[in-house]
Each structure stands twice: as structure tokens, then as C-alpha cells.
């Protein structure tokens, strides 16, 4: 497949490369990262470029690897009028995302109690495959969560009023309709609020060491200081979102015949955005997105309780505010410029993070000048990043950047190379206390199975799309 070099960080597959491509495909990567990508990435991103109504380019971020339909790390924007919506461009874990919580605590205060903290967090936040939360919701309560998201949590005592302004969409996407969600999805989601799940999901205690703060004034604006302890949460809508995606993939398989849509890969099943089927899925997707915002909110409430118990101080006294919460598996209506014209687009981000520059009306007032905080999760051994969005992101990538490291090795291959107990021992030797529901799951998440997070993050900084603020080093990890 022909791949043209546009710059040191941008590569392009021309629209002439595959029959049916409506736009070129663009890949953000260093030459090294490009060569490390599996061939499925190039096949999938060029298939995405064939979808009806796609605008400008089909994008793949530097953490890109083969996924379901879209590559993970994929971004595509479709015309609201004549474009499509595709579950494969959103992901099964709808609104899987990142939340960062600051504290006023320092490493010298937290490190002596890190094992106690990790043990109590592990007991308090259920994790693992099929894990159930400590909350018992009725069907009607779950429907309210679907509609109201974080608002429901705050009114039910699981958060502070000021939390919502530090969450994408204020933690509630309007237009969710529970009648578009199946009974099976409801049965899967009803006991999962406040749970971490499995795979690469985690709850991590981290520190901001002086040498890892790249922009001190921006860090201060985001509430970050030297040797500070923070907490990062990575999870989504769990089995609930997975079922919503599965349900509508079946519906879309039939809808494509009805609307005369032909795709190069059945995993790209889609429907016209303005069709009844497309709108039903969009409303159900919003239900799952709001459930994910609420899921992370309940987890934050629990971890505030844990810190309060361990340090014998109120969470407010420890400054346990949310820095930001951002989704990386979602489709949203956004206004962007295409060929000099402002257009409403259906922007799909699948393993990709919204990365809006300063001044965007969607940003909370506190971040209107800085640009949107962007939270990038690394592997459990390597640390994570806090970035901000830029003006260039708005013109180049529909305000999008990567979401994490990106796998270079399958879970099965990782398990053949190392055991969970070996990883646990190695991490503890490096000063990271880890608790997991499964030693097998721990082996699957070994650091060597992922790309170099710093190279991935640096790629998008060099491209001018996102700016580094601080790298956060793990000292305690809860793994599903």
C-alpha cells in the first residue's frame, strides 16, 4: 500500500489507493511508530475512508492498532446531513474514558501509606470481569442514570456540585432515550455502577515529580504542583455499553440493505445518521455514555471516602477536585470548518481523545484560556500524561489526539512471555504497589505489550496537536 510522507509526523494513503475511498487516510506517527503498526491498521483506516459522507480524511493516531471495524486510535467525521453513524467507530465500551483527580497531598505523605491505600481501594472499588457494584439500582433508577448521568450522582450524594463543570459535557449528554436500550443491556448494566471492569482499565495513584513537569505555569492553572499525589481512573460503560453496541450492529446489518449502503468490512456496519435506525442508536449510545460518566463519578466518590479514611481528613480539606474527565470512545455532534465552511459533523473517536484548543465554547470557563485538559493513560508500568489541546488540533484533526500507548502485542502473546506474579514482583521492585483480580490479566497488561507512551505523546506535540504539561508516575495500581 502506498504511504506518502507529508511531514516527519504525518503520513498519507491517497484516495486512489483503494477503490471506493472518498477521502485520503492520514496517519500521525514517527517513522518508527509507523513501521510498528500492524497491517490491519492500514486496511481498516482505508476502509473507513470509503464510508458515506466522510469529511477531509480518515485519521489514525500514533497509538493506532487493529480494532473492530475502525482501528483503535481512529477518528472520522461525517456530514450530519448525508453521513453515517457506525458502532465500529465508537467502540463497544461506549465512553470508555479517563478521569484525573488532584489532591493537596505530597509524595512524602502518601508513599508511607501507599500499601494501605491500595488495599482499601481494591476492597472498595469492585474490579474484574463481571464485577458488580456496591449499589443496588432499580430499573427506573438506571434509566435516570442513562438520562441524567453525573447530575443523578450528585443529587444522590455521590459528588460535589462543582464536579460537573470539570467533566466533558458536564457529565450529561442530552437526548439520551432509555426506550432505545434493550432489556438485555439493562440487565447487564444494572449492577455495574461504580465498578472498574477488566482489561486495561485501572485506578492508579500517581505523583508529579519535578523533572516530569514540562510547563509549570500550565500545570499550576490545572491544579498540579511538584511532588503532588493524584489519582487517575480509566473505565467506561462496561457490559451495558457493550450490549448497546452489539444490539445495534445487528440492526445496522439489516439497515444497510434497506438504504443501499455497501461497506468493505461487515464490522463497519452503519446507518445514515438521520435515519430512524441511526437516530435510535445515537440515543442509546448517549444512554451508555451517561452511564459511563456516572460510573466514573461513583468511583471518584468511593476513592474520596478511602482517602478520607486513610488520612483522617475530609476530601475537601485534601483538595480532591476533579482536574478533568474526557471520553475516548464516542460520537458527538460538533461544528468544525471544512473547506472554509463551518459544518455540523458527527465526529467518531474510537480510542481517541477530544483535544479542543483555547476559546471553544464547549470548554468550561476555567479552561477556556488554557485549552482542554487531555488525559492520556499509559501502561501500568510506564506512567501517564496530562496535556492540553491546541488551535492547530481544531484545523488539523477535528480537535482530536491519541488516547494512550496503544498495544503492540496481543494479550495471548503477552501471557506467553511473562506471568502475572513476575510482573507484580517487577513492579514492586520499581516502587509500584499493584493489586489485581487476576494474575493472568496482569500478565496481559505488561508494559512491553504497549508502545512507548512518551514517543506517542511526543509525536502529537511535535505535530502541534496537543501540548505536554506533566508526566505522572505510578506508585499504586488497581487492575481489573
Which sequence positions are flagged as catalytic? 403
Cβ neighbours of residue 123 under 8 Å, at least 6 residues apart?
none
Give me the helix-helix angle, 276-311 and 114-124, nearest 10°. Answer: 140
Cβ neighbours of residue 463 under 8 Å, at least 6 residues apart?
7, 9, 10, 28, 392, 396
List, in sequence order, the alpha helices (H) in 125-237. 139-148, 150-155, 183-189, 216-221
List, in sequence order, the alpha helices (H) in 181-275. 183-189, 216-221, 238-259
List, in sequence order, the alpha helices (H) in 125-193. 139-148, 150-155, 183-189
Strand positions, DSSP E, 166-227: 202-208
Give me the helix-helix angle, 276-311 and 238-259, nearest 10°. Answer: 170
Edge to edge, what strands does the sheet with 25-28 contain? 4-5, 10-13, 25-28, 58-65, 72-79, 341-350, 329-338
**Residues that constitute the known binding site for Mn(2+):** 93, 201, 234, 328
Closest CA to 76 of 93, 110, 108, 52: 52
**Residues that constitute the known binding site:** 93, 200-204, 234, 328-329, 377-380, 384, 403-406, 479
Amino acid at each position: 500500500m502506498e504511504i506518502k510522507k507529508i511531514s516527519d509526523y504525518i503520513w498519507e494513503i491517497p484516495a486512489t489507493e483503494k477503490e471506493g475511498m472518498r477521502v485520503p487516510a492520514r496517519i500521525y506517527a514517527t517513522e518508527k511508530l509507523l513501521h510498528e503498526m500492524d497491517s490491519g491498521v492500514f486496511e481498516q483506516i482505508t476502509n473507513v475512508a470509503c464510508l458515506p459522507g466522510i469529511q477531509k480524511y480518515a485519521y489514525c493516531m500514533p497509538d493506532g492498532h487493529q480494532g473492530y471495524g475502525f482501528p483503535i486510535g481512529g477518528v472520522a467525521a461525517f456530514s450530519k446531513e448525508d453521513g453515517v453513524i457506525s458502532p465500529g467507530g465508537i467502540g463497544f465500551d461506549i465512553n470508555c474514558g479517563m478521569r484525573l483527580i488532584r489532591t493537596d497531598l505530597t509524595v512524602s505523605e502518601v508513599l508511607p501509606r501507599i500499601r494501605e491505600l491500595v488495599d482499601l481501594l481494591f476492597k472498595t472499588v469492585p474490579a474484574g470481569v463481571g464485577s458488580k457494584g456496591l449499589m443496588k439500582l432499580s430499573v427506573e433508577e438506571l434509566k435516570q442514570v442513562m438520562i441524567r448521568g453525573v447530575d443523578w450522582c450528585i443529587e444522590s450524594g455521590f459528588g460535589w456540585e462543582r464536579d460537573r463543570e470539570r467533566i466533558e459535557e458536564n457529565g450529561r449528554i442530552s437526548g439520551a432515550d432509555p426506550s432505545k436500550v434493550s432489556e438485555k443491556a439493562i440487565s447487564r448494566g444494572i449492577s455495574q455502577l461504580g465498578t472498574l471492569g477488566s482489561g486495561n482499565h485501572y485506578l492508579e495513584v500517581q505523583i508529579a515529580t519535578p523533572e516530569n513537569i514540562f510547563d509549570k505555569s500550565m500545570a499550576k492553572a490545572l491544579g498540579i504542583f511538584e511532588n503532588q499525589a493524584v489519582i487517575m481512573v480509566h473505565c467506561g460503560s462496561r457490559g451495558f455499553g457493550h450490549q448497546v453496541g452489539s444490539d445495534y450492529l445487528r440492526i445496522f446489518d439489516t439497515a444497510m440493505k434497506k438504504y443501499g449502503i455497501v461497506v468493505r468490512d461487515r464490522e463497519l456496519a452503519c446507518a445514515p445518521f438521520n435515519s430512524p435506525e441511526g437516530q435510535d442508536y445515537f440515543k442509546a449510545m448517549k444512554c451508555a455514555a451517561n452511564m459511563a460518566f456516572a460510573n466514573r463519578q461513583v468511583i471518584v466518590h468511593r476513592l474520596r471516602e478511602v482517602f478520607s479514611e486513610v488520612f483522617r481528613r475530609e476530601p475537601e480539606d485534601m483538595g480532591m477536585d476533579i482536574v478533568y474527565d474526557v471520553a475516548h470512545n464516542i460520537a458527538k455532534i460538533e461544528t468544525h470548518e471544512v473547506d472554509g465552511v463551518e459544518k455540523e459533523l458527527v465526529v467518531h473517536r474510537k480510542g481517541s481523545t477530544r483535544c479542543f484548543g483555547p476559546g471553544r465554547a464547549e470548554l468550561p470557563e476555567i479552561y477556556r484560556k488554557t485549552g482542554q485538559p487531555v488525559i492520556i493513560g499509559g501502561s501500568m508500568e510506564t506512567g501517564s500524561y496530562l496535556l492540553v489541546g491546541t488551535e492547530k488540533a481544531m484545523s488539523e484533526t477535528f480537535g482530536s489526539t491519541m488516547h494512550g500507548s496503544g498495544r503492540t502485542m496481543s494479550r495471548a502473546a503477552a501471557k506467553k512471555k511473562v506471568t502475572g506474579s513476575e510482573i507484580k514482583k517487577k513492579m514492586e521492585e520499581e516502587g509500584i504497589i499493584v493489586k489485581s483480580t487476576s494474575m493472568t490479566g496482569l500478565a496481559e497488561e505488561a508494559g512491553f505489550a504497549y508502545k512507548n507512551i512518551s514517543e506517542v505523546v511526543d509525536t502529537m506535540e511535535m505535530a502541534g496537536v496537543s501540548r505536554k504539561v506533566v508526566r505522572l508516575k505510578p506508585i499504586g495500581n488497581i487492575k481489573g
